[in-house]
């Protein structure tokens, strides 16, 4: 974890494996992001059941959540929403998943995805989820991590993953039809573990 990412205790969250009962909190974060269609290459009209089946991964993959660590987190005075005064201990603030990017001879390279509650933006949570996934992937025996489709216009995400050691190996031209920007590229990003 880099020097600019707050340790979990100071940041006020705890990252752990997701449980079935976390789903409503996860879906509350996923749904608006998927419906907006600006950063994720999922069908925007996916049903909740399909999304749950897709987000919850089986071993060697896994799904995890960042939950609010409660009032003792030392960071209760942040911006509004779940970052601010209405925080609830155990509330899902962000989520991530990792899984093999390919099968067979390609199964030693992991892929991962993350989503963060808008109220948590700018607090380092996406980077913390990424760091968690890198460690978890390493522990599960993966040798590298690859993102297949990072939307070029999602500059904050691109910068975050670069700061976590990923490099852009290629940009697939005009591979993403952004609802407002039109056709933009999709980055293939990669780092060894």
- In the complex, the residues that contact a copy of itself under the rule CB under 8 A are 34, 37-38, 40-44, 46, 101-109, 143-144, 146, 148-149, 151, 169-179, 186, 188, 190
Minimum Å gap between C-beta 131 and a copy of itself is: 22
Minimum Å gap between C-beta 134 and a copy of itself is: 17
In three-state secondary structure terms, 4 is coil
Q: Please state whether 81 falls in left (phi above 0), alpha (psi between -120 and 50) or beta.
A: left
Q: Which is nearer to a copy of itself, 67 or 112 (CB)?
A: 112
13-17 and 182-192 as β-strands: parallel, antiparallel, unpaired?
unpaired
* Backbone phi and psi for residue 140, each to the nearest 5 degrees, phi listed first: -85, 0
DSSP 82: G
Query: With the C-alpha atoms ordered 169, 170, 176, 181, is the resulting torsion angle positive or negative?
Result: positive
The β-bridge partners of 147 are 189
Q: Which is nearer to a copy of itself, 13 or 40 (CB)?
A: 40
Minimum Å gap between C-beta 37 and a copy of itself is: 5
């Amino acid at each position: 974890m880099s020097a600019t990412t707050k340790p979990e205790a100071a940041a006020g969250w705890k990252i752990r494996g997701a449980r079935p009962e976390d789903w409503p909190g996860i879906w509350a974060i996923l749904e608006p992001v998927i419906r907006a269609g600006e950063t994720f290459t999922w069908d925007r009209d996916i049903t909740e059941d399909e999304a749950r089946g897709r987000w919850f991964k089986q071993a060697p993959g896994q799904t995890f959540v960042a939950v609010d660590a409660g009032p003792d987190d030392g960071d209760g005075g942040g911006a509004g929403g779940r970052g601010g005064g209405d925080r609830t201990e155990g509330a899902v603030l962000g989520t991530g998943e990792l899984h093999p990017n390919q099968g067979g001879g390609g199964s030693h390279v992991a892929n991962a995805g993350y989503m963060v509650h808008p109220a948590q933006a700018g607090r380092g949570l996406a980077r913390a989820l990424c760091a968690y996934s890198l460690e978890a992937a390493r522990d599960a025996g993966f040798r590298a991590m690859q993102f297949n489709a990072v939307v070029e216009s999602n500059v904050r995400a691109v910068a975050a993953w670069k700061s976590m050691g990923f490099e852009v190996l290629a940009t697939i031209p005009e591979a993403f039809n952004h609802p407002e920007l039109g056709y933009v590229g999709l980055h293939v990003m990669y780092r060894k573990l």
